[in-house]
């Protein structure tokens, strides 16, 4: 290589270094910010996990302390004083509270606690359905049959988690209204449902017999 070529290479390399330093001075902060964001994001995630764990432990300790109360009214009062920091924790708290309120004879308060869970839109459907179903059972004497029918029909739509239990309650409402034929038709269909459990199937058969009917032979379900 000639001296001229060597000189040109050195100049070219120097120009490259100058351009790299210029780019670093101009854009190097982007890399620094990226590193800060990555490290900061990881730290924040760990903080959130630790906070959620701590809140869950505090909620559990508070609930256990309240459940230690022997008197139902005192237990309900203690549970009312517990504060949950998450939708799931609040739902669990209200379900437990409703049980203590029932034991204490405060059924309307229990209904209110259950309905607060049933209308909590950010909960999975199964929890809302259970709470709504239990609230309706508690109002069998206080709520008109027509209103209970509408709400049980909403729980009995195809795909609903408590569909079959709601159908059983609808049959009982038919009976209370003197519509025996409708009750028998509903109970016969309930027994043949592919998703029905043995216990519910037996209860339906017993009610059919009590109403003067005869349970239809079960159709073998396709596996």
Q: For 16-25, how does the pLDDT look when each residue is reduced to its tens digit (9 = 90+)?
A: 665 655 555 5
Cβ(97)–Cβ(76) below 8 Å: yes
- Determine the structural domain holding residue 125 and report its residue range: 72-143
For residues 172 and 192, membership in a common domain is answered with: yes
Alpha helices in the chain (DSSP H): 3-67, 72-80, 87-103, 107-118, 125-138, 145-155, 163-176, 180-192, 198-210
For residues 174 and 100, state if they share a domain.
no
Residues 156, 217 within the same domain: yes
Q: Give pLDDT, residue 19.
A: 61
- Who contacts 111 (Cβ-Cβ below 8 Å, separation ≥6)? 98, 135, 138, 139
Structure confidence at residue 223 as a pLDDT band (50, 70, 90): very low
Angle in degrees, 0-180, between the axes of helices 125-138 and 145-155, rounded to the nearest 10: 160
Query: Alpha-carbon distance 58 to 85, whole Å?
Result: 10
Separation CA 150–CA 136 (nearest Å): 11
| Residue 117 is assigned to a structural domain of this protein | yes
Q: Does 82 share its domain with 128?
A: yes
What SS3 state is found at 91?
helix
Q: Is residue 19 part of a domain?
A: no
pLDDT at 87 over 50: yes
What pLDDT was estimated at residue 64?
78
133 shares a domain with 195? no
Residue 79 falls inside a structural domain: yes
Measured distance CA(150)–CA(156) in Å, rounded: 10
Q: Are residues 127 and 138 in the same domain?
A: yes
Shared domain for 127 and 156, answered yes or no, is no
Question: Is the domain of 164 the same as that of 199?
Answer: yes
Evaluate if pTM is beyond 0.75. Answer: no
Are residue 175 and residue 218 in the same domain, yes or no?
yes
CA distance 159 to 9: 76
- Boundary-marking domain end, from 124, 143, 162: 143
pLDDT of residue 7: 47
Q: What is the dihedral of CA 94, 95, 99, 105, to 10 degrees?
A: 50
Indicate the pLDDT class of residue 82, thresholds 50, 70 and 90.
confident
The answer as to whether 41 is a domain residue is: no
* Residue 100 shares a structural domain with residue 86: yes
Domain check: are 136 and 77 in the same one? yes
Q: Domains in the chain: how many in total?
A: 2
């Amino acid at each position: 290589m000639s001296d001229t070529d060597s000189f040109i290479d050195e100049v070219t390399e120097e120009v490259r270094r100058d351009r790299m330093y210029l780019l670093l001075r101009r854009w190097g902060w982007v890399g620094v910010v990226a590193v800060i964001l990555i490290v900061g994001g990881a730290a924040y995630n760990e903080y959130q996990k630790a906070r959620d764990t701590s809140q869950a432990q505090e909620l559990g300790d508070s609930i256990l302390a309240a459940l230690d109360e022997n008197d139902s009214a005192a237990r309900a009062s203690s549970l009312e004083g517990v504060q949950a920091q998450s939708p799931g924790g609040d739902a669990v708290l209200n379900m437990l509270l409703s049980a203590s309120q029932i034991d204490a004879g405060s059924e309307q308060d229990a209904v209110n606690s259950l309905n607060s869970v049933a209308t909590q839109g950010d909960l999975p459907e199964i929890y809302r359905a259970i709470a709504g179903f239990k609230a309706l059972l508690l109002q069998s004497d206080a709520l008109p049959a027509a209103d209970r029918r509408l709400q049980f029909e909403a729980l009995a739509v195809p795909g609903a988690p408590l569909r079959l239990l709601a159908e059983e309650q609808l049959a009982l409402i038919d009976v209370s209204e003197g519509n025996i034929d409708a009750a028998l038709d509903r109970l016969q269909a309930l027994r043949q449902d592919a998703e029905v459990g043995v216990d519910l199937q037996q209860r339906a058969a017993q009610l059919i017999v009590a109403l003067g009917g005869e349970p239809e032979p079960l159709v073998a379900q396709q596996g």
